[in-house]
Amino acid sequence: MTDLLNVKNLRIAFPSRQGPVEVVRGVSFAMGRERLGIVGESGSGKSQTGRAILGLTPPPGKATADRLEFDGTDLRQATKAQWRDIRGERISMVMQDPKFSLNPVMTIGRQLTETYRTHRKATKAEAQERGLEMLNAVQIRDPERVMNAYPHELSGGMGQRAMIAMMLVTEPELLIADEPTSALDVTVQIEVLRILDRLVSERGMGLIFISHDLRLVSSFCDRVLVMYAGQVVEEVKATELTRAKHPYTKGLFNCLPKIEGGERPLPTLQRDEAWAL
């Protein structure tokens, strides 16, 4: 089986007065149609890794890689036309905060059908129908109202689900979800994960799930990449996270408080400079 996505030695650098600062330093991984988690703390480069796959590194940042292949296509050499065919159609991305990533002056319906009509030769009516279907699929109770609503008229959870619907309307082969549930309440979080889970198991979609929440990722993904200071320090099977070897992964896992109670004071993470070398 060929890999859906193959990344080798991905590096992302931003220029600064002291010379270029590398925020991602040689990340490599390959994935199939599975749930891959990328975990790290703020500044670890996990979000930049996700964006670079879609060629969305914000200028003046520069992303380079020895290999960046999606289903046999070399993304490094992709032309604008090729990107247009890939983005939104074959690879989609769900951003963290619906408040910032939805267009505030367009109704949800227009944003939802826009994606579909750009990529499929569909009539307005067809797109509308498909949009309603998708909103139903993400368990929005009154899809008609949501279609005509502006983003500010929806709650955070609804907005996030609407955005997921938008990204899935074209049935992409790979979904990059950057903290898709961090802004949501725990009970809604589980619902959104259920939707993503079904898409992976039923449609065979690949999913990259980027999050700072180690516990959540380990309970949801198949495999987890742990990032620290721009590098992957460890790759573990999600079920074996408690047996992780790297001191950073262990420290991150142990410093979470537990409902059942535990050590007091909480063990804190002792950072070792060698991890960042």
Partner 1 sequence: MALLDIKDLNVTFSKGAERVHAVRGVSFAVAEGESYGIVGESGSGKSTVLRAICGLAPVTGGTIRIDGQQLADDRRPDFYRKVQMVFQDPYASLHPRHTVDKVLSEPLAIHGFSDRETRVEQALEDVGLGKGFRFRYPHQLSGGQRQRVAIARALILEPRILLLDEPTSALDASIQAEVLNLLDRIRGERGLTYVLVSHDLSVVAHMCERLMVMQHGQAVEEMTRASLQSRSATQDYTRKLLIASLGYRAAQEEQAS
* Site residues, partner 1 (CB under 8 A): 41-42, 155-156, 185-190, 193-194, 197, 212-216, 218-220, 251-252, 255-262, 264-269
Give the containing element (helix H, strand E) for 47: helix 46-53
**Nearest approach, Cβ of residue 159 and partner 1 (Å):** 12
* Count of alpha carbons within 13 angstroms of residue 33, beta-carbon side: 15
Whether 209 and 218 have beta carbons less than 8 Å apart is answered as: no
271: alpha, beta or left, given left = phi > 0 and alpha = psi -120 to 50? beta
Peptide bond into 265 cis (omega under 30): yes
Which residue has tokens 């049935």?
171
* Count of alpha carbons within 13 angstroms of residue 67, beta-carbon side: 12
Nearest-angstrom CA–CA distance, 74 and 97: 30
* Tokens linked to 83: 């990107």
Give the containing element (helix H, strand E) for 211: strand 206-211
Residue number with CB closer to partner 1 (9 or 242): 242
Residue number with CB closer to partner 1 (87 or 223): 223
250: alpha, beta or left, given left = phi > 0 and alpha = psi -120 to 50? alpha
Nearest-angstrom CA–CA distance, 89 and 115: 8
Radius of gyration of the chain (CA): 19
